[in-house]
Amino acid sequence: MEDVRVRELADGIAATQRKEIKEMDWLVQDIEENGPATTKEEADARPVPDFQGSASTLSDAQWSAREFLRALLAQPLPKELGQQ
């Protein structure tokens, strides 16, 4: 891309996505190790670390999404959804 404004925006978006992928990876691992944080107090006791964006590969992103979905699907339905 020749336009520096577009390049800067694209770089910023990519860095944000890498940071969010790291956060999701951490959350999936935390949920697998400690179970879901179902109250504000539990969530506050297990804060997400402050990750910085860095180089990542598409396979890392695909792995993260797959692992997140696997962990999400493994959780029981909330009572109000299970009684319909």
How much is the mean pLDDT over the chain? Answer: 80
Question: How many residues are there in the chain?
Answer: 84
Which amino acid appears at position 33 of this protein? E
Give the pLDDT band (50/70/90) at residue 58: very low
Structure tokens at 5: 């404004």
Find the DSSP H helices in the chain.
4-34, 40-45, 58-74, 79-82
Domain count for the chain:
1
pTM of the predicted model, to two decimals? 0.57
> What does residue 8 show for φ and ψ, rounded to 5 degrees?
-65, -40
Per-residue confidence band for 30, with pLDDT thresholds at 50, 70 and 90: very high
Q: Domain range for residue 37?
A: 4-82
Other Cβ atoms less than 10 A from the Cβ of 64: the count is 19
Q: What is the pLDDT of residues 1-19, one digit of tens each?
A: 688 999 889 888 988 898 8
